[in-house]
Structure 1
Amino acid sequence: MELELYQLAIVLIGSTLAGSINTLAGNGSAITLTILTELIGLPGNLANGTNRVGIFTQSAAGSYAFYRNGKLDLQRSRWPILLTIAGAIAGVAVAVNVSNEAFRSVFRFLMVLMLLVILVKPKRWLRESDLERQPHPLVAIPLYLGLGFYGGFIQMGMGVFFLAVMVLYARYSLVEANAVKGFVVGAYTFLVIFVFQWQGLISWPVGLLMAVGQTTGGYFTAHYAARYPQANVWAHRLLVAVVLLAIARLFDLHLLLGG
């Protein structure tokens, strides 16, 4: 597939922005999937598979940057990581046989609920990690498995929901929650790529091109966030903006504003 020069520019700029957004908030796939379907013209299922290439490389690069700067504690986070990955494997096994379109109407109301959760008592999102926090296994196990299943099945909005659980329930700081999120998403996306490739649902030339932008955005955003004292504050603001834009898009509010 040959792309025009302007398409190449949009792909690289858009994927870099998406990688940055995914690293500190989530839902950057709203940008990359729009580029893949509307600009390049890939069918929905092929765009879904192709999109996972950049998600993997961006997550790996961001996780490495967070780890180098002491924001990713793999030992402390081993159970959220393992359980979420296990749930994701089950989710993707279902995803290849079931359409995701039926979930769009439910997802938009989940986003409205998420916006309320983010805006009510925002100081909860800005605290530092509580290293003494020990989540109860009877709650934590099904919660992380459910998150993983959702991510493997739908992916859309997974980052936002994962951050809510890690910050509000597991009591991680927003930056450290993003570090764990990146590692988890990268790990299960690596496995998911094999499933989509087996189904012939990845366009590698396009996927690798987007991966260049997403990896660049993911690495430098993680590197900066790990070192910047106000990173939690800006991550929270970006999260609010991302959810607001998702709601506007899901409810077609942009069409109402446009007349």
Structure 2
Amino acid sequence: MAFLDIVTLFLAGVLSGAVNAVAGGGTFLTFGALTLTGSLPITANATSSVAQFPGYITSTLAYWSDIRHMWRGALLLCLISAAGALAGALILLSLSNPSFRALVPWLLIAATALFAAGPWLKPKPKAGVKPRTGSLAGSAVQFCTAVYGGFFGAGMGVMMLATLGLTESGDYHRLNALKNMLSIVIAAVAIAVFVSGGVVAWPQAAAMVPGVALGGYGGVWLAKRVPQPLLRGFVIAVGLILAGYYFVRG
């Protein structure tokens, strides 16, 4: 890699970690930076998943007090998420780069629209309802979400939080903790498939991971000083620019 590419990927990692800590949507930045520095679409998608993985772990640990009270009940959703992620990742690897490239702008537009609608999709607390996990409807919807997450991770967190809010009970923090826990499962399975398929660009991932960690830590400072709507607008703009870029490139 050229030195400029390393710097670009590191800075994209920093921005991604910070944006994820404050508003979510950091995958747009890592995927875009990998694309612009020469990675093929499937490689960019797989490598971005690797770069984002540490953030899923730290977010889950932050909710440990909630997770330790519900992890047994969430095991079914974890298994379903693993199966869905496996299916999605295998579908991705079955495609050629030209085929996936043709899908990318549409996926980016869908993920950007989902991200833009995020504030209106946040689940509302259900007062007086005893928390439960793993309903039949919730399991079916979670499988579909996991397939998407294994195939293309951008917007997965927003989608999962919205669907969990529709199919599971409990307050927002409980659902967010469950979302973070399931994100680890989905990402871990997808990464295992991508690694076995040899589509991860490890030097590029190594350049981004420290940046993601640094940005995630600094995101707390950023959250106190930059309005979330401004950051969300930035992420939406990046998603639309990337979609336009892929439409033009064909």
TM tier, smaller: 0.7 to 0.9
Find 1:16's aligned residue among 4, 10, 14.
Answer: 14
Partner of 1:256: none
Partner of 1:211: 209
Equivalent position SS for 1:149: helix
Find 2:85's aligned residue among 79, 82, 88.
Answer: 88
Alpha-carbon distance change, 179 to 52 in structure 1, aligned in 2, over 3 angstroms: same
Alpha-carbon distance change, 144 to 11 in structure 1, aligned in 2, over 3 angstroms: same
Equivalent pairs, count: 236
CA shift digits 1:9-60 (9 cap, x unpaired): 432232122123335554322111111121x212222222222221222212
- TM-score (structure 2 length as normaliser): 0.74
Find 2:75's aligned residue among 73, 78, 85.
Answer: 78
CA distance in 2, matches of 1:177, 1:20: 22
Aligned counterparts, 1:42-81, within 5 A = 42-67=39-64, 70-73=65-68, 74-75=70-71, 76-81=73-78
Alpha-carbon distance change, 185 to 109 in structure 1, aligned in 2, over 3 angstroms: same
Alpha-carbon distance change, 174 to 238 in structure 1, aligned in 2, over 3 angstroms: farther
Consecutive unaligned residues in structure 1, runs of 5 or more: 254-259
Partner of 1:181: 179
Consecutive unaligned residues in structure 2, runs of 5 or more: 246-250
Partner of 2:33: 35
AA of the residue aligned to 2:75: R
AA of the residue aligned to 1:100: F
Partner of 1:245: 237
Alpha-carbon distance change, 239 to 146 in structure 1, aligned in 2, over 3 angstroms: farther
Q: Give the % identical residues.
A: 23
Partner of 1:167: 165
CA distance in 2, matches of 1:112, 1:34: 13
AA of the residue aligned to 2:194: F
Report the alpha carbon displacement of residue 95 of structure 1 after superposing the two structures with TM: 1.3
181-190 vs 125-134, greater mean Cα deviation: 125-134
Structural RMSD (CA): 3.6
Report the alpha carbon displacement of residue 102 of structure 1 after superposing the two structures with TM: 4.5
Native 8 Å contact 2:25 2:154 kept in 1: yes
Native 8 Å contact 1:58 1:211 kept in 2: no
Native 8 Å contact 2:57 2:184 kept in 1: yes
CA distance in 1, matches of 2:54, 2:162: 23
CA shift digits 1:68-88 (9 cap, x unpaired): xx3445425434333222211
179-188 vs 102-111, greater mean Cα deviation: 102-111
56-65 vs 124-133, greater mean Cα deviation: 124-133
